[in-house]
Amino acid sequence: MARLEAALAGARRAGFAERTPAVDEEAVLQAIVQVHDPRLPERLREACRRAPSFFDSADNPISPGTFAAAVAAVGCVLDGLAHIMAGNAPRVFAAVRPPGHHATRSQAMGFCFFNNVAVAAEAALQKGFGPVAIVDFDVHHGNGTQELFYHRDDVFYLSLHRYPYYPGTGGADEIGVGRGRGFTRNLPLAPGADDEVYLGALALGLEEVMRAMSPHMWLISAGFDAHELDPLGGMAVTTEGFQKMGKLLAQAAGSVPVLVVLEGGYNLDALKESVAAFLSGLSQVGSGSS
């Protein structure tokens, strides 16, 4: 909960209004199985009845409340998406945990159970808000998101990440297959990458997204574990660097809506400051809510 509090405090500082959505579990599960193996939510629900334990991986400890928390995270992201699609706000931040971008079609891993961003991308497409661009700047590669859309040309997946590093995927040669060829772009970065490296890579990646498609929705897998103070990431992005990344994304998106979804970030002060800085950079066009 401390991570959520820090992220929310950052969003408030950036001037985002707050809302706490009611979660319709059945509706959320329906959306989840549009991208995940239908057995995944049922397996997780069952496993949580026998918790405390681990689910699929040693990185995924579970308690009796994990299933509800993971469903609520997806529900919160879908509520943010609905808020955007209703025309209420062009920029929305979904402060959620657990994170999502490592969750594959049928497996939980890397602290992730359901792929929050991928579920939102599919929901946006089904509501006619495609094509969708996903930009993932968490320090880890979003192997789950990549896998889910690797063969698709209606979702572009752009990732900036430390490489080689957990989870091992994300080489520059992973570019998609079949119709999806050219709709996955990985920008692997060496340890210690700083603002200059990240901003250069992000600018390059965004140009490539826009050459490939005109997104009608931008989804951001916003991990702040590339911050210089993060205990896990080993990168050197500053708080100001995250603000500049927000600005670059705002410029690329223009009037197209942007839904920002929290992924990692493990230094609480850095997380709060980075969320505030990123969202203020992003909010240069229009206003937002969290």
Please say if 102 is a catalytic residue.
yes
Residue 117 Cα distances to 194, 241, 261, 286, angstroms? 26, 23, 7, 22
Q: What is the closest distance, in whole angstroms, from the C-beta atom of residue 141 to Zn ion in the complex?
A: 9
Any contact of residue 264 with Zn ion (CB under 5 A)? yes
Please identify the residue of the shown chain whose CB is closest to the bound Zn ion: 264
Q: What is the closest distance, in whole angstroms, from the C-beta atom of residue 182 to Zn ion in the complex?
A: 26
The interface region with Zn ion, picked from 13-21, 33-41, 195-203, 259-267 by CB under 5 A, is 259-267
Any contact of residue 97 with Zn ion (CB under 5 A)? no
CB neighbour burial string for 193-216, b if at least 16 within 10 angstroms, e if fewer: bebebbbebbeebbeebeebbebe
How many amino acids of this chain bind Zn ion (CB under 5 A)? 5
Task: Look up residue 206 and give its two tokens.
Answer: 């965004």
Identify the residue among 83, 91, 140, 185 touching Zn ion (CB under 5 A): 140
Taking the least distance from each CB to Zn ion, the nearer of 3 and 152 is 3
Any contact of residue 225 with Zn ion (CB under 5 A)? yes
From the list 36, 83, 101, 102, the catalytic residue is 102
Residue linked to tokens 């209420």:
88
Round the CA-based radius of gyration of the chain to a whole number and report it. 17
Any contact of residue 138 with Zn ion (CB under 5 A)? yes
Distance between CA 119 and CA 108 in Å, rounded?
A: 14
DSSP string, 183-203: SEEEEEE-TT-BHHHHHHHHH
Catalytic residues: 102
Residues that bind Zn ion (CB under 5 A): 138, 140, 223, 225, 264
